[in-house]
Structure 1
Amino acid sequence: MPVRAETLVNHFSQLFGEPPQSVWESPGRVNLIGDHTDYQGGFALPIAVPYSTWIAAQLRPDEEIHVYSDYLPDQRVDLPLETVSRLAQKTPLSGLLGFVVAVWDLLGVTTGANILLMSTLPVASGLSSSASLSLALLAALSDLGQRPHDAKTLIHLARQVENVYLGVESGILDPLAIVCGQRDCAIRVDALAEEGQPVSFNYAQAGKSLFIIDTRTPRTLAGSGYHERVKETKEASDILGIPCLRFASDKNIDQLTDPVLKARTRHVIGENQRVQATIEAAERGDWSRVNQLLWDSHQSLSRDFMVSTPVLDETVAWLQDMGVGARVTGAGFGGSVVALGDCEQQADIEALLIRRYQENRWALPRVLTVLRPADGLHKVL
C-alpha cells in the first residue's frame, strides 16, 4: 500500500501525542545496468523508484530516542542517548538499532527524538532498502538539528553508515542514485569521480514499463560473495598495474593468467561499455537495443561474475522468450530481476511467472511496476 504524508503524520501524532516537525521520503533505487562496477571506479545507470522509506521525526526535550517502524515491528528502538557512543564502538552493527546508533554517532546529535518509519520498499530484494533507510534518518536528523547537509555530504555520510558502522563494503552507487534521482531520468554514475549526471530514460513515453521481479529468494551469500568479488577485482587491477578496472581494456584480459580474474575483469570492462551503449540507445528511442544490452549484462553477471542463481537465470530466460529485456540487479545471489517491457504485457508477465514458479515449487514472486523513474530524496513536510 502507498504511504501518504497525512497518514504518516496522523500515525505519528497518535503514537507521540503531537505532530512531527519533519517528514522526508527516501526512495529505493534499482540499477538498470552497470552492476559490480562501482567499486572499480566504473559506470552504472540506476533510477530512483516510487517505493520508499518514509520518516516522520521530532526532537525530544530529553535524551531518549524512540523509533517505531511499520515494516520492522520486532526492531523497535528505545535507547538512552548516553549509550550511543558505547554501542557505536561495537561494530559491525546490525538491524534497526545499528542504523540509529550509526546516524546519531555520525551526526553528533546531542538530544533525543521520536521517529516513525513507514515503508513501501521491500527489504533484501536488491532495491537498496538499507541506503534508503540511512538517508531518511540522516536527512531528517540533519533537518531537525537545523544543519541540513548538501547532496554530496549526505551521500558520503550514508556510505560511512554502511562501510564503517555496518561493515558492508558498498560503493557510491546506492546513495548517489537515491539522492540524485529525477523523474523520467536515469543517473549516469561515475564512481571514480563520485558524481551522477541525469540522463533521459523516458520509457513511459514509448508505452513501456519497468518491472521489478522480487524473486523472494534469500540473498544468503550476498555479503560474503560481494566481498569476494571486491577482493578479486582488486587483485586483477593490482596485477595489471592500474588504479582500478575502470582503466582496463579488452587487451588487458589476456595479460591475466588466472581464469577467474580474467572472467571478473571481462565483466567489468563489458559492463562499463554497456552502460554507455544503453544511454545512447535510450536517447534515440531504440528500446530493442536496450533489451539486448540487458540480456547481455545478465549473461555476463551469471557466467563471468557468477552472482546469479538458477531462479534468477530461469526468470530472465522466461522473460527473454517474451521479448522482455531483463537482468539480475543489485549484488545478486538472489534478490530481484529488472525487466523492461510493454505496458500491456504486465498481466502476461505476472501470469507466466506465477505459473512457472508454481511448477518449480518456488515461493511466488512479487512483481513491482515502475511506471516511470521517480524523484530522489526530498522533504515532504
Structure 2
Amino acid sequence: MIDEAATDFEAVHAARPSGVWAAPGRVNLIGEHTDYNDGFVLPIALPHTTRVSARRRTDGRLRLYSAQGDGTTTDVALEGLAPGAVASWASYPAGVFWALAEAGHPVGGADLFVDSDVPTGAGLSSSAALECATAAAVNDLYELGLSAPELALIAQRAENAFVGVPCGVMDQMASACCTDGTALFLDTRTLEQRHVPLDLTAAGLRLLVIDTRVKHDLGDGAYAALRAGCERAAGLLELPALRDLPPADLAPALDRLPGELRPLVRHVVTENGRVLETIDHLGRGDLAALGPVLTAGHASLRDDFRVSCPETDLAVEAAVAAGALGARMTGGGFGGSVIALVEAGHPAVVSEAVRSAFRSAGFTAPVTFTAVPSAGARRVG
C-alpha cells in the first residue's frame, strides 16, 4: 500500500513523497451532540483511514489532489489564505494549514495526495480523518512537535472557522488520539482522556456498522441551529453549558424553558448519563448491557433531538428485531450510519434482516461491516 501511495503521488506531483500518514474515521459508541455542550463522549477509531502522502514545497503553495476527486489538482497560495477561499473537499486540508499558521506555527507549502476508504457522508467522520491525516503530515514535515490532542484542536479549528461547520471536538480527538483495542472516554470540557479497554471479541460480541447510504451535509445549517439552541438553553438556565445541569435538576429546569428547547436539554443531560452508564458497564466487564443503552440513546436522538430519519430508524428497528442487543444511529444525524451490538454469530443475520427491511421499504441497499477499535493518526510510510 505504501509503495502504491508513493507511485500515485509521483504520477500527480512528479516527485516522491517524503512520507505517508493515515488517520481513521470513527464510530461513537455513545455520547452524541454532547461534545459542544462540554459533555462526555465515547468513540472508537475505525480501521478505515484517510491516507495523505506529502512533501514540502519551498514556494508557499499548497497543491492538493484526491484519488476520490474529479481528477483535478487544487493549487492555492498559503499567503493570504482565508476562510471561503477554497471549495469542496480541499477546504479541509487547506483549513489545517490555515489554522496552523493562525496559531503561529511555521508552516510552508506542500504537495498532498489524498486517498481514503472512510465512507463520506456516512456519519463516520471522514472530514476529521482528512484533517487529522493532514495535520499529522504537516506536523512531521515541518517538525512542529505538536501532540496528538494539539493536532486535534488544530483540526477542529480548521473545520469550525475555515470550513464553517460548528462541530465539537470529539471527531478530531477520536481520529488523532484513539488506540488499538480501546474506546476513548473524553471529557470535552477539560479534554481529559482515558483509554477504556473494549474487547468485544472476548465478550463474544461484534459491533456492526450499518451505512444507510443516506448522505447528509452538516454545513447546511441544521447542525448549527441545534448547537445554537443548546447554547440558548444554557444561557436561560444561567449555566456555562448544559453539561452543568445535574440530572436531578432536569425536570424543574425544563419548566423554565420555552417548549422548543426542552427536548434538546433533555437529550443532552440524559445522553451524558448514558456515557457514564456505559463506562460503568465496561468497568464491570458487562459488555452485553450496552445494548439497551444504545437503543435508549437512539430513541432520544429520534424523539428529542430529531436528527434521525426513516432509514436510520428502520435500521435500528430491523436490527433489534433480528436479535441485536441494541442499536442506534451514530454521528451528527440527518442520515449516516447505525451501530448495532450483536452476538458473534449474528452479524450476517442482522445485516440481511436490515437489507430485507430496506428492500421492502424501497430504500437504497445499506452497506454493513464490523468495526474493531483501531489506532489514531500516525505515520505509516
Provide the TM-score with structure 2 as the length reference. Answer: 0.92
- CA spacing shift, 1:112–1:262, aligned 2, 3 Å: closer
The separation in 1 between residues aligned to 2:142 and 2:294, in whole angstroms, is: 43
1:149-164 alignment to 2 at 5 Å? 149-164=146-161
Pair 1:121-2:118 in alignment: yes
The separation in 2 between residues aligned to 1:113 and 1:74, in whole angstroms, is: 18
1:1-381 alignment to 2 at 5 Å? 4-74=1-71, 76-79=73-76, 81=77, 84-90=78-84, 93-108=86-101, 111-220=108-217, 223-250=220-247, 251-255=249-253, 256-324=256-324, 325-370=326-371, 372-381=372-381
> Is the contact between residue 107 and residue 142 of structure 2 (CA under 8 Å) also seen in structure 1?
no
- CA spacing shift, 1:74–1:357, aligned 2, 3 Å: farther
The separation in 1 between residues aligned to 2:149 and 2:66, in whole angstroms, is: 27
Instruction: For residue 110 of structure 1, report the CA deviation from its aligned partner.
Output: 5.8
The separation in 2 between residues aligned to 1:85 and 1:99, in whole angstroms, is: 17
Deviations along 1:258-291, one digit per CA (max 9) or x if unpaired, are: 2332211111111111101112212323233100
The separation in 2 between residues aligned to 1:216 and 1:33, in whole angstroms, is: 21
The separation in 1 between residues aligned to 2:84 and 2:307, in whole angstroms, is: 30
> Is the contact between residue 107 and residue 142 of structure 1 (CA under 8 Å) also seen in structure 2?
no
Q: In structure 2, what residue type is equivalent to 1:284?
A: R
Instruction: For residue 111 of structure 1, report the CA deviation from its aligned partner.
Output: 4.2
> Is the contact between residue 297 and residue 327 of structure 1 (CA under 8 Å) also seen in structure 2?
yes
The separation in 2 between residues aligned to 1:217 and 1:248, in whole angstroms, is: 34
> Is the contact between residue 172 and residue 194 of structure 1 (CA under 8 Å) also seen in structure 2?
no
Q: Percent identity?
A: 33
> Is the contact between residue 24 and residue 380 of structure 1 (CA under 8 Å) also seen in structure 2?
yes
Q: Give the SS at the match of 2:345.
A: helix
> Is the contact between residue 253 and residue 265 of structure 1 (CA under 8 Å) also seen in structure 2?
no
Q: Give the SS at the match of 1:290.
A: helix
> Is the contact between residue 240 and residue 252 of structure 1 (CA under 8 Å) also seen in structure 2?
no
Q: Give the SS at the match of 1:227.
A: helix
> Is the contact between residue 165 and residue 218 of structure 2 (CA under 8 Å) also seen in structure 1?
no
The separation in 2 between residues aligned to 1:280 and 1:21, in whole angstroms, is: 44
Instruction: For residue 319 of structure 1, report the CA deviation from its aligned partner.
Output: 0.8
Instruction: For residue 332 of structure 1, report the CA deviation from its aligned partner.
Output: 0.6
CA RMSD of aligned residues (A): 1.9
Instruction: For residue 43 of structure 1, report the CA deviation from its aligned partner.
Output: 0.5
Instruction: For residue 11 of structure 1, report the CA deviation from its aligned partner.
Output: 2.3
Instruction: For residue 103 of structure 1, report the CA deviation from its aligned partner.
Output: 2.6
Q: In structure 1, what residue type is equivalent to 2:150?
A: T
Q: In structure 2, what residue type is equivalent to 1:334?
A: G
Q: Give the SS at the match of 2:354.
A: helix
The separation in 1 between residues aligned to 2:69 and 2:244, in whole angstroms, is: 42
Instruction: For residue 210 of structure 1, report the CA deviation from its aligned partner.
Output: 1.3
The separation in 2 between residues aligned to 1:293 and 1:193, in whole angstroms, is: 25
- CA spacing shift, 1:123–1:41, aligned 2, 3 Å: same
Runs of 4+ deviating beyond 6 Å: none
The separation in 1 between residues aligned to 2:139 and 2:282, in whole angstroms, is: 37
How many residues of Structure 1 are paired with residues of Structure 2 in the alignment? 373
The separation in 2 between residues aligned to 1:205 and 1:303, in whole angstroms, is: 34
Deviations along 1:242-262, one digit per CA (max 9) or x if unpaired, are: 111111123233232423322
Q: Give the SS at the match of 1:211.
A: strand
Q: Give the SS at the match of 2:260.
A: helix
Q: Give the SS at the match of 1:141.
A: helix
Instruction: For residue 352 of structure 1, report the CA deviation from its aligned partner.
Output: 1.6
Provide the TM-score with structure 1 as the length reference. Answer: 0.92
- CA spacing shift, 1:61–1:42, aligned 2, 3 Å: closer
The separation in 2 between residues aligned to 1:99 and 1:39, in whole angstroms, is: 20
The separation in 2 between residues aligned to 1:247 and 1:308, in whole angstroms, is: 26
- CA spacing shift, 1:222–1:365, aligned 2, 3 Å: farther
Gaps of 5+ in 2: none
Q: In structure 1, what residue type is equivalent to 2:212?
A: T
- CA spacing shift, 1:111–1:286, aligned 2, 3 Å: closer
